[in-house]
């Protein structure tokens, strides 16, 4: 096992990784920007080093600064968390070229799955069902219109690189496609340095269900069941749960087998997630693969009892998985809500100072947070400030506990999405387990009409 791990990230995920490392007796090295010098992850790590200015381009995306600290501290391995450099193939390769273990898959796999067009082609060749679409770059809007007419509207215009809903847009007709093409191309170029767009057929009334996989360096792999991440805003998840409600057991089993087959086909190693769309008839389609730890990984940990960060560390240290598929059982139900510093109506970020924070405490509540009383929420980073995970023996009990916890959760000084979370978890669609990816958008349209 490693003696020293550098966490190339910030906020709640840095604290989460530090917690497991400390339990395993691994020395932790934190890095921080000018804006984060007093952050909790900096205080909790065994050592911490500055890496640049407040902007992510000056600090958390500064590969040279991070590698410099890793070498200066004789770090064995780097854990990238999620976001930032976690799916950057060049960073993974740079770590390995410097003799530092990258806690994740190979640079080649990251690059292959990071390009969504190539990922579609790879999965299709492996016999994995993919969302109907065009697995080739669109050169201009005219070509896009021609392809969309053949495919049939509505279509989803998507950026080939990146994620987070950036460069994505549902298009209903030729006119909308002409208007959307250039704007999405520019956004993709700006955020990912790659303006390549492609399109997929919109799977209407779809659920977003993903499967967690673990593969060691010896080719041994398992899945840890599924998570339902259908409740989203702007194509970004806000509530996730495991297991997925109202999913046929045969479909659950097939999706798990498909995920293992897909990961094995690309020679995957470490923790990863196969994301799928599931239509109203429970037909499922490969959407993309996230080659990193997911924001929503705690719900999987809660129902399986497996520490995913610990498994990531062991795999990166060339240890074999200590369990087989039949050893993994899902017990109970877990739901995660993402708490954002944002206006609950417009979804615009709400930076400022937290003047009061009171969180509910109970044995069935798990907090993953980067804030406390007096914390300053800056405009430089993603507005997610915390996650609350609630567990119950049944989904009904987990929802009851979650609703009580949300009522007791108090944050003052900034706007948050707590009112939205309370509204969504009290909706009949959520209670019935029938949420689809367009639920929130449709509800907003109904309220405006």
Question: Strand (E) positions, 306-350?
Answer: 333-340
Q: How many whole angstroms separate alpha carbon 75 and alpha carbon 96?
A: 12
Q: Are the CB atoms for 210 and 229 separated by under 8 Å?
A: yes
Q: Which residue has the tokens 């080939």?
A: 160
Residue 366 main-chain phi, psi, to 5 deg: -120, 130
User: Angle 394-396-400 (CA atoms, 0-180°, nearest 5)?
Assistant: 120
Q: Are the CB atoms for 401 and 393 separated by under 8 Å?
A: no
Q: How many whole angstroms separate alpha carbon 349 and alpha carbon 420?
A: 14
Q: How many whole angstroms separate alpha carbon 326 and alpha carbon 432?
A: 30
Cβ-in-10-Å burial (0-12, 13-18, 19+) of 25 comes to exposed
Q: Are the CB atoms for 16 and 368 separated by under 8 Å?
A: yes
Fill in the DSSP letter of residue 241. Answer: E
Instruction: Please compute, for residue 285, the number of CA atoms within 13 A of its CA located in the half-sphere on the CB side.
Output: 18
Per DSSP, the residues of 339-368 read: EESB-TTT--B--EE--EEE----TTEEEE
Fill in the DSSP letter of residue 369. Answer: E
Question: What is the three-class DSSP state of 216?
Answer: coil
Q: Terminal CA-to-CA distance of the chain, rounded, Å?
A: 58
Q: How many whole angstroms separate alpha carbon 334 and alpha carbon 317?
A: 30
Residue 284 main-chain phi, psi, to 5 deg: -115, 150
Q: How many whole angstroms separate alpha carbon 145 and alpha carbon 132?
A: 16
Question: What is the three-class DSSP state of 165?
Answer: coil
Q: Which residue has the tokens 């709400």?
A: 350
What torsion do the CA atoms of 286, 290, 296, 298 make, to the nearest 10 degrees? 110
Catalytic residues: 292
Closest C-alpha to 269, from 298, 294, 292, 287: 292
């Amino acid at each position: 096992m490693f003696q020293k791990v550098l966490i190339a990230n910030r906020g709640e995920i840095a604290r989460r990784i530090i917690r497991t490392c400390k339990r395993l007796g691994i020395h932790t090295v934190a890095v921080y920007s000018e804006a984060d010098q007093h952050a909790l992850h900096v205080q909790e790590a065994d050592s911490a080093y500055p890496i640049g200015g407040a902007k992510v381009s000056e600090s958390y995306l500064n590969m040279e600064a991070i590698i410099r600290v890793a070498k200066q501290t004789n770090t064995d391995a780097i854990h990238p968390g999620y976001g930032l450099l976690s799916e950057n193939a060049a960073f993974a390769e740079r770590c390995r070229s410097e003799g530092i273990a990258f806690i994740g898959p190979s640079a080649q796999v990251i690059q292959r799955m990071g390009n969504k067009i190539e990922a579609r082609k790879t999965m299709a060749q492996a016999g994995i069902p993919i969302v109907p679409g065009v697995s080739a770059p669109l050169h201009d809007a005219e070509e896009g219109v021609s392809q969309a007419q053949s495919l049939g509207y509505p279509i989803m215009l998507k950026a080939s690189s990146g994620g987070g809903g950036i460069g994505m847009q549902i298009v209903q007709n030729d006119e909308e496609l002409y208007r959307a093409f250039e704007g999405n191309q520019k956004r993709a170029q700006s955020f990912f340095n790659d303006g390549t767009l492609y399109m997929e057929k919109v799977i209407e009334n779809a659920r977003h269900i993903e499967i967690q996989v673990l593969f060691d360096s010896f080719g041994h792999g398992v899945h840890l069941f599924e998570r339902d991440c259908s409740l989203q805003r702007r194509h970004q998840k806000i509530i996730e749960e495991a297991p997925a409600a109202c999913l046929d057991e045969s479909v659950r089993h097939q999706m798990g087998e498909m995920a293992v087959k897909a990961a094995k086909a690309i020679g995957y190693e470490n923790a990863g997630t196969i994301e799928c769309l599931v239509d109203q008839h429970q037909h499922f389609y490969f959407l993309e693969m996230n080659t990193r730890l997911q924001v929503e990984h705690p719900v999987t940990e809660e129902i399986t009892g497996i520490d995913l960060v610990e498994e990531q560390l062991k795999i990166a240290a060339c240890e074999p998985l200590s369990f087989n598929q039949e050893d993994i059982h899902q017990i109970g139900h877990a739901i995660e809500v993402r708490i954002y510093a944002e206006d609950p109506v417009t979804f615009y970020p709400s930076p400022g100072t937290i003047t009061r924070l009171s969180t509910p405490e109970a044995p069935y509540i798990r907090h993953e947070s980067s804030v406390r009383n007096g914390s300053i929420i800056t405009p430089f980073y993603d507005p997610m400030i915390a996650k609350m995970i609630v567990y119950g023996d049944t989904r009904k009990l987990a929802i009851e506990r979650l609703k009580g916890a949300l009522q007791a959760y108090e944050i003052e000084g900034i706007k948050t999405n707590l009112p939205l979370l309370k509204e969504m978890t009290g909706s009949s669609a959520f209670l019935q387990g029938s949420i689809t990816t367009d639920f929130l958008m449709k509800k907003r349209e109904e309220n405006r009409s």
